[in-house]
A and B are shown apart, each in its own frame.
Chain A
Amino acid sequence: MTTILTYPFKNLPTASKWALRFSIRPLSCSSQLRAAPAVQTKTKKTLAKPNIRNVVVVDGVRTPFLLSGTSYKDLMPHDLARAALTGLLHQTSVPKEVVDYIIFGTVIQEVKTSNVAREAALGAGFSDKTPAHTVTMACISANQAMTTGVGLIASGQCDVIVAGGVELMSDVPIRHSRKMRKLMLDLNKAKSMGQRLSLISKFRFNFLAPELPAVSEFSTSETMGHSADRLAAAFAVSRLEQDEYALRSHSLAKKAQDEGLLSDVVPFKVPGKDTVTKDNGIRPSSLEQMAKLKPAFIKPYGTVTAANSSFLTDGASAILIMAEEKALAMGYKPKAYLRDFMYVSQDPKDQLLLGPTYATPKVLEKAGLTMNDIDAFEFHEAFSGQILANFKAMDSDWFAENYMGRKTKVGLPPLEKFNNWGGSLSLGHPFGATGCRLVMAAANRLQKEGGQYGLVAACAAGGQGHAMIVEAYPK
């Protein structure tokens, strides 16, 4: 029940220059254990910058995130993306023609709809005059879609942007082998029967072996789960700690779902099936049950299991972002500002999943904030082991000195402010769509729990990472 009372003297809609602002934290707050001062003021009153347009989140939605192979299994990615777009239109009632640009993130591309943003937008009834493009940056693809939009608005190119992401892991493109493809392409070009026959005679049965989409890092040939297990071992994260954290994620998600806090979820009537209304991967179990599972990657003694990893998920998300003055002029009450953001990258082998550790201090420094200023942390949970390894890295002076070029440690995010409504471990992780979910969770939490600043952070394949500050829109 943390509440922050703000008393703006003057609340100018266009510039939001706040003359004075208090943040009062009553002693009866839930974080009693932390000896927080009765009155805690933020380092900075707002992150607005002179001469740069403020970018706001009007609202965002997502389809329910489902375990892959369940209700969405017969769909195509653009179907899911379209569902998110229509949901957004419904939720915000934004007139389609004011949308200047649409950007979607996705990871495993369906080759038929490689610009999935465009296909989904056309299907959702957006104006065919609204351009759309698709971006990819592994698990931070949707983050990239949003920040691309932020850039377009801040630079004055656009006023209204729809950003989103989609992933359909129920169906992935499985290709013929290179040899088979070559043979088929050559056959296409062959002119005479003789040429065709001579080509066909080159066929061997092993040509038929299919090529699956890579589940491993291209540069290191290591799967992400394997890397996560090594990362957990490097930071001496035990199996029990990982299971406990996963259990926390599932329990919090269940609670949030039951209490109706996951308000960004919009129902989706799946063609030929029932309407899907909620995420289906939330399954709080017991530590005893979880302890029975065998390691999934490093066998037989690893610590990463199916229960403490995020699962393969189908889902899509979309978010409406605008220039602040545009939103106000259209009569919207925005939910949050999108503020400073940061992309980082590091060694894709041994530090594949440490993106949040690297990105967090950088984005805070850029914004001029400290860890104490953050009221809502929303980190992407790829694996329990990854989150806990990031915690240990952030809490280590040795790591900060030797690998981050910092004098002191980053500091640990307080757990009571961390992923309070569940995370990717429990809600699911459709690679291309998670970014928008994180931002909406942060924005909605700030609205619901009170607080001014939220921090979104995520790791991604390729050893990359992202962090962004979400600032609550003053009520």
Chain B
Amino acid sequence: MVACRAIGILSRFSAFRILRSRGYICRNFTGSSALLTRTHINYGVKGDVAVVRINSPNSKVNTLSKELHSEFSEVMNEIWASDQIRSAVLISSKPGCFIAGADINMLAACKTLQEVTQLSQEAQRIVEKLEKSTKPIVAAINGSCLGGGLEVAISCQYRIATKDRKTVLGTPEVLLGALPGAGGTQRLPKMVGVPAALDMMLTGRSIRADRAKKMGLVDQLVEPLGPGLKPPEERTIEYLEEVAITFAKGLADKKISPKRDKGLVEKLTAYAMTIPFVRQQVYKKVEEKVRKQTKGLYPAPLKIIDVVKTGIEQGSDAGYLSESQKFGELIMTKESKALMGLYHGQVLCKKNKFGAPQKDVKHLAILGAGLMGAGIAQVSVDKGLKTILKDATLTALDRGQQQVFKGLNDKVKKKALTSFERDSIFSNLTGQLDYQGFEKADMVIEAVFEDLSLKHRVLKEVEAVIPDHCIFASNTSALPISEIAAVSKRPEKVIGMHYFSPVDKMQLLEIITTEKTSKDTSASAVAVGLKQGKVIIVVKDGPGFYTTRCLAPMMSEVIRILQEGVDPKKLDSLTTSFGFPVGAATLVDEVGVDVAKHVAEDLGKVFGERFGGGNPELLTQMVSKGFLGRKSGKGFYIYQEGVKRKDLNSDMDSILASLKLPPKSEVSSDEDIQFRLVTRFVNEAVMCLQEGILATPAEGDIGAVFGLGFPPCLGGPFRFVDLYGAQKIVDRLKKYEAAYGKQFTPCQLLADHANSPNKKFYQ
């Protein structure tokens, strides 16, 4: 039973979720030589309760830096030494953040494994002292309590959290390729049980306060307060402190027991876990599941299981030792460096480099209520944007509105929204067939069919009704924005906003600026994207922009590999085992064969032979037979409503047979097939940087990982070149060039990097 539960909880783990955490924010610490005056912590005594307030200077969040560590131990020693003080409260003065985790830069600065292990051991010692404190310590949590912050909190004797949406608890270390290195792997299983603890540590998910209370992670909840005699946030923190003080007193007077009543299920689980056989089964099942999902590409999850196991089977001392050692090992891995790099990139892509726009977009209009249009509407209305969704027919509009409603209603089912909130969000959406109200629109996003003349027509129609300041954004995956803007009366207001499907799940937004796009237009588009919760890369206009352009040569290679007789299932397993979340053949089906054909033809015309390889005839024949992928029920696979199992589409055999190519044995090993795909992708990405389509390698990595599913464990094409070695990649390309020709010729920038090993995309 326990095993089932653990597995059940784990089922949501997937590598694709990586880096979805919020709030785990690093900070550049500008050193302070604060020994006498404390800068991170102040503490006061109320009656016999010491109140320790954490407030890292010049930052929105508190992070566990070296300075904070030393000030904290100093203060705690004073508290333990004082006769007047009988208990303590640990609280943050920052609204929205208790402690967001360890200082990532501090970890990144470590050169050797020993250094990292030592850091972990120091942290372990501090929290151990908290845990053994004879004076009860109450952690009063408001805002994010993540990673090291959670490890500090769970070593206290009591935890009180505000029931605020911003209050989340979690161990996101796994998302950065690490593990909780300050005793978390040992304390968490004891506190919430092994299955729940493994779930938290292996998925890195954030847990809201009410859920944390149910799990036993916090002991009391405090409701956030509304306005009173002070601003709500300020008073809420004050109230939290007051409540925490009464509990600290109660604990010191032994009027309140820090022990928690466990529910029946919890008790049974705990009992089952005392049986060695059950434990072994749980470890085994969880390990199997992790291996299946990570395909051995991510070392952190397995090490987490290992450390937890060591602690339970061999005792805490062995557990702590193993934790610190494995923590050091993990921080030193390429995977961790790649994931931390992505984290930094993500932080970068959450900023508006164009500054604040002159006018905030409040009224948005979307043309086309298809999958994309409705998706964009959904992520807009739930952020409070008044949105018009326009389509040409009532049937299409109905479908689009239903999609938005369903998206919101699914959140109600998951209890992320109340039905009342859903309704009031949904009322931000107006569905219509005409241009009424467009005179008030601040931005129009068109998501009509990918056809230049159609886009021209709607652009002209819209420009006749919108006000002068209104921005026209085009959601297209391949049509050059300058060509769309060619018919515009005001090309400085035209921009590309390339969303990814499904819009409510995919985090990336690729914004495309033309030569003529004004800076303010860009600023507005980025501001809207950020409001919609997107991670944004801004690229220059060009055929296929960045993302589509990188994908196209890889897709061409996919076709060639299939023509060479590799089974689509085999190809899928080769790509997923390399770290792609979706197999290459499945990806074609998901994107839509007609779309792939369209893109292949368009870009093939522009880039010529370099984008060749596979025969586009394959796609043409598929389209003519109606095999458009998932949307038509048939592509390389057969899709049926409600059926999860995918069967190969046997009708494809004749098409594939008619276009069969002889495989070249010297470049057809499994590894070669993987690298043929990846190197074409990487080569094209580097070329985009070389040509100035991309402004920075970081944006290239974020775009590839978040938009196209480039393996997160490799950190994106540029990080991959840095970590894997430019020379090795160039060698591979040259090998394939010898077999296939120009498509594999390394670009100049890549060659430069290969020639001078000191050159790195990330210094």
Interface residues of A (CB under 8 A from B): 218-221, 226, 229-231, 233-236, 298, 301, 347, 349-351, 389, 392-393, 396, 398-399, 402-403
Contact = CB atoms under 8 A, between A and B. Distances in A.
A301 B246 CA distance: 9
Given A350-B226, A396-B229, 17 more contacts: A218-B420, A231-B228, A233-B225, A233-B228, A234-B225, A234-B239, A235-B228, A236-B229, A236-B235, A347-B226, A350-B225, A350-B227, A350-B232, A392-B229, A399-B228, A402-B227, A403-B227
Given A233-B239, A301-B243, A349 B420 contact: no
Interface string B215-249: 00000100101111111100100010001001100
Contact of A398 (B223, B225, B229, B239): B229
Nearest to B235: A234
Contact of A399 (B220, B225, B229, B420): B229
A158 to B, nearest CB: 38
Interface residues of B, number: 17
Contacts of A393: 228
A398 B246 contact: no
Contacts of A221: 418, 420
A399 B418 contact: no
A229 B222 CA distance: 11
B226 A234 contact: yes
Contacts of A399: 227-229
Given A233-B239, A234-B232, A234-B235, A219 B226 contact: no
A231 B229 contact: no
A131 to B, nearest CB: 35
A185 B77 CA distance: 71
A219 B420 contact: yes
30 contacts: A218-B420, A219-B420, A220-B418, A221-B418, A226-B223, A229-B223, A230-B223, A230-B226, A233-B223, A233-B239, A234-B227, A234-B229, A234-B232, A234-B239, A235-B228, A235-B229, A236-B228, A236-B229, A298-B223, A301-B220, A301-B247, A347-B226, A350-B225, A350-B226, A351-B227, A396-B229, A398-B230, A399-B227, A402-B227, A403-B227
Nearest to B225: A234
A349 B230 CA distance: 17
A226 B223 CA distance: 9
A402 B228 CA distance: 10
B420 A392 contact: no
Contacts of B232: 234, 350
Contacts of A236: 228-229, 235
A296 B728 CA distance: 70
Contacts of B247: 301
Contacts of B220: 301
Contact of A351 (B226, B230, B418, B420): B226
B225 A230 contact: yes
Contacts of A349: 226
Q: Which 10 A-B pairs have the closest CB atoms?
A: A350-B226, A234-B228, A234-B225, A235-B228, A219-B420, A230-B223, A233-B239, A396-B229, A234-B226, A301-B243
Q: Which of B229, B230, B243, B247 has the most CB of A within 10 A?
A: B229
Contacts of B418: 220-221
Contacts of A351: 226-227
A81 B235 CA distance: 45
Given A234-B235, A301-B243, A301-B246, A389 B227 contact: no
Contacts of A398: 229-230
Nearest to A300: B220
A424 B609 CA distance: 86
A392 B228 CA distance: 8
Nearest to A397: B229
Q: Which of A230, A351, A389 has the most CB of B within 10 A?
A: A230
A214 to B, nearest CB: 12
Q: Which of A219, A301, A402 has the most CB of B within 10 A?
A: A301
A233 B232 CA distance: 11
B226 A220 contact: no
A220 B420 CA distance: 8
Q: Which of A233, A235, A350, A392 has the most CB of B within 10 A?
A: A233
A35 B698 CA distance: 73
Nearest to A219: B420
Contacts of B227: 234, 350-351, 399, 402-403
Contacts of A218: 420
A454 to B, nearest CB: 28
A301 B420 CA distance: 29
Given A220-B420, A226-B223, A389 B246 contact: no
Contacts of A403: 227
A219 B421 CA distance: 8
A356 to B, nearest CB: 16
A220 B424 CA distance: 12
A388 B649 CA distance: 73
Q: Which of B223, B226, B228, B420 has the most CB of A within 10 A?
A: B228
Interface string B529-547: 0000000000000000000
Nearest to B239: A233
A74 B235 CA distance: 47
Contacts of B229: 234-236, 392, 396, 398-399
Contacts of B231: 402
Nearest to A396: B229
A389 B227 CA distance: 11
Q: Which of A349, A350, A389, A393 has the most CB of B within 10 A?
A: A350
Nearest to A234: B228
Nearest to B243: A301
A183 B420 CA distance: 26
A155 B438 CA distance: 42
Contacts of B420: 218-221
Contacts of B223: 226, 229-230, 233, 298
Interface in B591-633: none
Contacts of A220: 418, 420
A393 B226 CA distance: 12
B278 to A, nearest CB: 32
Nearest to B221: A298
Nearest to B418: A221
Contacts of B246: 301
A298 B246 CA distance: 15
A219 B424 CA distance: 10
A218 B247 CA distance: 33
Contacts of A229: 223
Contacts of A389: 228
A236 B226 CA distance: 12
Q: Which of B225, B232, B243 has the most CB of A within 10 A?
A: B225
A350 B225 CA distance: 7
A240 B418 CA distance: 35
A226 B226 CA distance: 12
A231 B235 CA distance: 11
A100 B414 CA distance: 54
A231 B230 contact: no
A146 B638 CA distance: 69
Interface string B396-427: 00000000000000000000001010000000
A234 B231 CA distance: 9
A263 B478 CA distance: 83
Contacts of B243: 301
A235 B418 CA distance: 27
A399 B420 CA distance: 28
Contacts of A396: 229
Contacts of B226: 230-231, 234, 347, 349-351
A230 B226 CA distance: 8
A398 B227 CA distance: 10
A383 to B, nearest CB: 15
Nearest to A395: B229
Nearest to A218: B420
Contacts of A235: 228-229
Contacts of A231: 226, 228
